[in-house]
Structure 1
Amino acid sequence: MKKITIVGISDVSASIGLCLRKAGIKNTEIVGTSANRKILRQAKDLGVIDVADTDESSAVKGSGLIILDLPLSETQDFLESVGTKISSGTVVTDLLHVKSKIQEWAKNNLPENVSFIGGHPLVNHNQSSKDSINLISLDEIDYVLVPSINSSESALNTVVRMVETLGAKPLFMDAFEHDSYSLGVTLLPQLTSFASVSSASNSPGWNDISKFAGEYFQQMATLASNDPEHVMDLVKQNPAVTTVWLQKIIDVLLKYKENIDKSNFEELFDDLINSWEDRAKWEQGVEDSPNKNDIPAVKTTMTSMLVGGRIAEKMSKMESAQEKPKWKYFKRSKK
């Protein structure tokens, strides 16, 4: 009987376990281990795992594939305490947002004949509760794989087959590239949220200011409710990358301030519109295309020849309004 072990269970790893079970892999049992007994029971009831085991050493013994789904600091503790006990030939992968340090820990704590393949399923999902499981679809998502230098070809094939069984698409990166991209859209929003709260709460009039705090402040402050220890774990693993991203947002804010100081409101407005459109395109899965030359369409040119430029321009605007992409921001006409 072959064995797959999930260490720590979240919505994502539970969904992975359920997909693997539904795939009907022959002679394979899926074991789950977690310090949270309630989550283990729920995972068993939902059919995510075949066996629930609260002992990590027992759960990973004889396993051919281990999927780590632990916070960063707990991942280090696991590799240091249990790593040497992992069976020869086992493949270990993870689901975390950073990879460089984990590769280092794996290299220092796993036996030479155990391969580590970093993994990161790119799902747009926030864990709503630590005490309940909400299963999600992994179909057609990009699933980043970060092989270690000493990863065997067979180990990589094992993880690729797992990803494809989920219906996901393997996306290969090195650790530095992955961490640079990931921290810009995971750590930076959290630090920005903490900073926004501090900028308001450190003001002398905070007691009165707080009475005005409503929907907008709540939206920005939400990420500041995340565990500061987990945020610091990310910062300490990648301080250089963190400072690069912080400088980027500082530069943007300084540009906003400069345009306001100089009354360059049109330029500021254009910057805000660009951000608005970039957010909309991201939500709709629209990728940027190369800029096209600003050349009038043949249809517009011919219309101008026949009915005159002003009428042609009006007709063109009417057509543009009908064909307006959902991500495009159209400035309202000035009165």
Structure 2
Amino acid sequence: MKKTTIAIIGVGLIGGSIALSMRRDPEIRVVGYDVRQDCLDKALNLGVIHAGTTDLQTAVREANIIFLAAPVEQIFVTLRTLSGLDLQPDVIVTDVGSTKSEIVRQAIKVIPPHVTFIGGHPMAGSHKSGVTAASDRLLENAYYVLTPNADTPEHLVNRLADLLTLTRAKVVQMDPETHDQVVGAVSHFPHVLASALVNLVAGYDDENAWHARLAAGGFRDITRIASSNPRMWRDVLLQNRDHILKIAKDWSKALDDVMELVETGDADRIEHFFQTARDFRDGLPERKAGALPPLYDLYIDIPDHPGEIGRITTLLGARQINIINLQIRETREDIYGALRITFQTQAEMEKGEELLRYFEYNVYKRV
């Protein structure tokens, strides 16, 4: 029986993670394409792909499934290029872009009749980038949205969905416009808000440097997504322009409404404003992979004497518990704990919590 050939166009964090997931099936051959030979060399050395090439035609010639795992703008370029290449009959082309409507429209316009395009969006990521950060567990339990057209044959959608079970993601389907509206509200627009708030405080800090000093605690936590890739988010906002503009108008009205309550001194309705937000937020699933990556943080009370942080990291290291960040918190109005430890996964966070509690540290989690 002939092996299924998967082409990964863009062997980075997401493309590499999909490739590693595909390699769980011994009947799948993974071919990687990248414009940089050094990225392909790393992917080959790490066992992410079976073969790699900087020639797109070579990468896709025998492919049964093609994943476009490049930035959003590059996906458009690749779609146009694919339309002129020699592809297998009945090949499925899919992408990993975080916007879908424009990509799907472009794909319908340029791909040949024997090619089926099915939009895709794996809703997972990492603080790291590049193929060296790829993991076969990156997409595990995350939502993987497929956005087929109304006339896409169901058996082909099922074929792709079945293949994606190798990622251990939760595959769901929705139309491209619905996807862009939902993700615009719960992912794209929050990035706008976080960056706008950071820029506002940065302006205030020009006049009074205490803004940056006191912002090092909770402010830094709630605006963490403002550290995302600027070029990527430029492209995302431009591709999802219509939905972002509508959400911004709704947000502006919501802000005006609550500021009117503040201006009139309506204490009961101000409290109701915070209560309804709290009720909805507390009802959201905890530690589930969604549009924004979850945080795996523990907060710890530690005595103020030399060697205490070293002792904690030694305890964790001795149990092979990996940590990716440490921070001493000088402002702690929103949560207890002077030391914040960030873990790679929920499982490592839970092991760390159990260990530190055993050694009688006071440990807190953000909820």
Structure 1-normalised TM-score?
0.75
SS at match of 2:104: helix
Alignment of 1:281-300 (within 5 A): 281-284=283-286
Q: Conserved in 1, the CA contact under 8 Å of 2:24 and 2:166?
A: no
Letter in 2 for 1:122: M
Matched, 1:19 2:21: yes
Q: Conserved in 2, the CA contact under 8 Å of 1:86 and 1:110?
A: no
- Aligned match of 2:30: 30
Counterpart CA distance in 1 for 2:86 and 2:97 is: 20
Matched, 1:91 2:95: no
SS at match of 2:145: strand
- Aligned match of 1:290: none
Q: Conserved in 2, the CA contact under 8 Å of 1:196 and 1:220?
A: no
Aligned-residue offset at 1:212: 4.3
Of the three residues 280, 291, 298, the one matched with 1:278 is 280
SS at match of 1:84: coil
Q: Which has the higher helix share?
A: 1
- Aligned match of 1:245: 247
SS at match of 2:26: coil
Structure 2 unmatched ranges of 5 or more: 289-366
- Aligned match of 1:183: 184
Q: Conserved in 2, the CA contact under 8 Å of 1:43 and 1:133?
A: no
Structure 1 unmatched ranges of 5 or more: 287-328, 330-335
Alignment of 1:8-87 (within 5 A): 8-25=10-27, 28-87=28-87
Instruction: From the superposition, tell whether residues 63 and 202 of structure 1 become closer, same or farther in structure 2 (CA, over 3 Å).
Output: same
Which is higher, the Rg of structure 1 or of structure 2?
Answer: 1
Alignment of 1:2-13 (within 5 A): 2-13=4-15
SS at match of 1:48: coil
- Aligned match of 2:112: 111
Aligned-residue offset at 1:61: 1.6
Q: Give CA-to-partner distance per residue, 1:134-181, whole Å, 9 cap, x none.
A: 412544443221112453344323212212333334322111111111
What is the identity percentage for the equivalent residue pairs of Structure 1 and Structure 2? 24
Counterpart CA distance in 1 for 2:226 and 2:142 is: 28
Aligned-residue offset at 1:221: 4.2
Aligned-residue offset at 1:6: 0.7
Q: Conserved in 2, the CA contact under 8 Å of 1:39 and 1:133?
A: no
Counterpart CA distance in 2 for 1:35 and 1:277 is: 48
Alignment of 1:262-273 (within 5 A): 262-273=264-275
Once the two structures are overlaid, the 10-residue window that deviates more, 130-139 or 240-249, is 130-139
Q: Give CA-to-partner distance per residue, 1:243-289, whole Å, 9 cap, x none.
A: 12112322332233122212223432332233334333324279xxx
Once the two structures are overlaid, the 10-residue window that deviates more, 11-20 or 179-188, is 11-20
Counterpart CA distance in 1 for 2:131 and 2:164 is: 26
Counterpart CA distance in 2 for 1:277 and 1:38 is: 50
Counterpart CA distance in 1 for 2:21 and 2:140 is: 10
- Aligned match of 1:143: 144
Q: Give CA-to-partner distance per residue, 1:180-206, whole Å, 9 cap, x none.
A: 111112210111022112323344953
- Aligned match of 1:102: 103
Instruction: From the superposition, tell whether residues 81 and 134 of structure 1 become closer, same or farther in structure 2 (CA, over 3 Å).
Output: closer
Q: Conserved in 2, the CA contact under 8 Å of 1:5 and 1:32?
A: yes
Q: Conserved in 2, the CA contact under 8 Å of 1:68 and 1:94?
A: yes
- Aligned match of 1:128: 128
Aligned-residue offset at 1:97: 1.4
Instruction: From the superposition, tell whether residues 153 and 283 of structure 1 become closer, same or farther in structure 2 (CA, over 3 Å).
Output: closer
Alignment of 1:135-214 (within 5 A): 135=135, 136-203=137-204, 206-208=207-209, 209-214=211-216
Q: Conserved in 1, the CA contact under 8 Å of 2:118 and 2:149?
A: yes
Aligned-residue offset at 1:219: 3.0
SS at match of 1:284: coil
Instruction: From the superposition, tell whether residues 55 and 265 of structure 1 become closer, same or farther in structure 2 (CA, over 3 Å).
Output: farther
Counterpart CA distance in 2 for 1:13 and 1:280 is: 34
Instruction: From the superposition, tell whether residues 104 and 129 of structure 1 become closer, same or farther in structure 2 (CA, over 3 Å).
Output: same
Q: Which has the higher strand share?
A: 2
SS at match of 1:247: helix
Counterpart CA distance in 1 for 2:156 and 2:52 is: 25
Counterpart CA distance in 2 for 1:59 and 1:73 is: 20
Counterpart CA distance in 1 for 2:253 and 2:287 is: 27
- Aligned match of 1:297: none
**Superposed CA RMSD:** 2.8
Counterpart CA distance in 2 for 1:252 and 1:43 is: 47
Instruction: From the superposition, tell whether residues 131 and 32 of structure 1 become closer, same or farther in structure 2 (CA, over 3 Å).
Output: closer
Q: Give CA-to-partner distance per residue, 1:19-71, whole Å, 9 cap, x none.
A: 2211222xx31111123444433332333211122222221122111011111
